[in-house]
Amino acid sequence: MALIDIADPDLYVESVPHERFRWLRHEEPLSFHEEEDGAGFWAFVRYDDVVEVGRDWRRFSSVWGSSLEELDEEQLAVRRSMLDLDPPAHTRLRRLVGPGFTPKVIKTYETAFRLLTKEVLAKAFARGEFDVVEEISKPVPVLWLCRHLGVPESAAQRLIDWTDRMLGQSDPDYAELDRGPEARYAPFGTIAGLEAYEYAAGLAAARRDEPKPDIITELLFAEAGGDPLSDDEFKNFFTVLMIAGQEASRHSISQGVLALLERPELAARLVEDPSLITTATEEIIRWTTPIYQFRRTATEEVAIHGKVIKAGDKVTIWYISANFDETVFTDPLNFDITRHPNEHVSFGKGGPHYCLGAGLARLQVQVTFGELLPDLHRLELNGPVERLRSNFIHGIKKLPVKVI
């Protein structure tokens, strides 16, 4: 057992255990952590290692899954998404969605997205008292995503609910108590995952009957490397886009609002000098690091930092530690809206799975804060902030504010 535990979700309820990660970076850059319900995992915590392992898919593969949960062959076969593949099978899927996420395409949505965001903000402020998570951080990404993919907006609340439950299984507010055996074959082993699969199947049937000019239709009619997408592939594609497209942006918005409410002088500076929004956006995304870690599996024996990782061992890369590595970031615990360069790894760093939605996410954060900042001084905290109990997602569940 490593001297310091980092897997216990309770550790993340009050705040990020930065001190533990700092200690590990200095004293145990590669540590092994036992698990009650698994074989244990290795943890890389230094910036350079996180980048290197994330890129080296030949030695650190994704095909046994990208999360700590251990899946058998049958579960993997049904649940595998693009996150759980290596090139070239991964490249085949990535090529399908890539064109819908190029900077040029994202740019074409900007005006519509900005309008949508303004509407969400106006509605929230009109309430007088509200929860930033419920009224801003959840609706903005989900509505953008629905528009972008071609999912009816009437499904937005269901998409939010499924994502909450899928990623919140270690949090008592979202845990599904009686999941039943079938849920093992759905994302995160959840009933929410089964419901999302069912919704995806219905959406696919509707678009096959009546194609529309949207990403969902393109996916369904595309032939990846000559083969059409199978139904299982589509369901997993839909689910991964649904989760990835909401969760990380949502928490970046919440954490950014909190950071700026706690530092009104920085919010005022951003209003005075809107050109700072670009560096501020990067800093919000670094500061948040919405995804704490991802998992890989070693394909061969690797000797490193005086230890030996064996083929088949689970390996994790901790973005939350890399983003606060003092050998790369000056004064990393300082929220610095002018930080430049800011080579954070919140989206990964150059590996095959580098975040597909990075451009979209950046625009989301930039537009949301661009629109919100002139009015941010009118908000004040109005109750305790509640954080997600998770060793995977850096989430805020509640951020109550009132308009003054």
Instruction: Say whether residue 290 binds ligand HEM (CB under 6 A).
Output: yes
Stretch that binds ligand HEM, among 21-29, 120-128, 172-180, 351-359 (CB under 6 A): 351-359
Nearer to ligand HEM, 46 or 94 (CB): 94
Nearer to ligand HEM, 47 or 347 (CB): 347
> Are 4 and 20 in contact, with CB atoms under 8 Å apart?
yes
Instruction: Say whether residue 256 binds ligand HEM (CB under 6 A).
Output: no
Stretch that binds ligand HEM, among 168-176, 179-187, 273-281, 355-363 (CB under 6 A): 355-363
Can you read off the two tokens belonging to residue 44?
Answer: 């890389």
Instruction: Say whether residue 240 binds ligand HEM (CB under 6 A).
Output: yes
Q: Give the nearest distance from C-beta 187 to ligand HEM in angstroms.
A: 13
> Are 274 and 370 in contact, with CB atoms under 8 Å apart?
yes
Answer for which of 100, 189, 256, 357 binds ligand HEM (CB under 6 A) is: 357
Greatest alpha-carbon pair distance for the chain in Å reads 60
> Are 253 and 310 in contact, with CB atoms under 8 Å apart?
no
Binding mask 35-74 for ligand HEM (x = CB under 6 A): -------------------x--------------------
Answer for which of 291, 309, 320, 393 binds ligand HEM (CB under 6 A) is: 291
Answer for which of 294, 318, 335, 392 binds ligand HEM (CB under 6 A) is: 294
β partners of residue 393: 291
Instruction: Say whether residue 266 binds ligand HEM (CB under 6 A).
Output: no
User: Could you give the CA distance from residue 237 to residue 240 in angstroms, rounded to a whole number?
Assistant: 5
The residue nearest ligand HEM at its CB is 357
Long-range contacts formed by 167-172: CB under 8 A, 24+ apart: 167/243, 167/247, 167/388, 167/390, 167/392, 167/393, 167/395, 168/388, 168/390, 168/395, 170/9, 170/389, 170/390, 170/391, 170/392, 171/9, 171/388, 171/389, 171/390, 171/397, 172/389
Instruction: Say whether residue 393 binds ligand HEM (CB under 6 A).
Output: no
Answer for which of 80, 94, 165, 179 binds ligand HEM (CB under 6 A) is: 94
Q: Give the nearest distance from C-beta 1 to ligand HEM in angstroms.
A: 27
Instruction: Say whether residue 215 binds ligand HEM (CB under 6 A).
Output: no
Instruction: Say whether residue 196 binds ligand HEM (CB under 6 A).
Output: no
Answer for which of 57, 347, 369, 392 binds ligand HEM (CB under 6 A) is: 347
Instruction: Say whether residue 139 binds ligand HEM (CB under 6 A).
Output: no
Instruction: Say whether residue 348 binds ligand HEM (CB under 6 A).
Output: yes
Instruction: Say whether residue 351 binds ligand HEM (CB under 6 A).
Output: yes
Stretch that binds ligand HEM, among 2-10, 16-24, 209-217, 348-356 (CB under 6 A): 348-356
Instruction: Say whether residue 83 binds ligand HEM (CB under 6 A).
Output: yes
Residues that bind ligand HEM (CB under 6 A): 54, 82-83, 94, 240-241, 244-245, 248-249, 252, 285, 290-291, 294, 346-348, 351, 353-357, 360-361
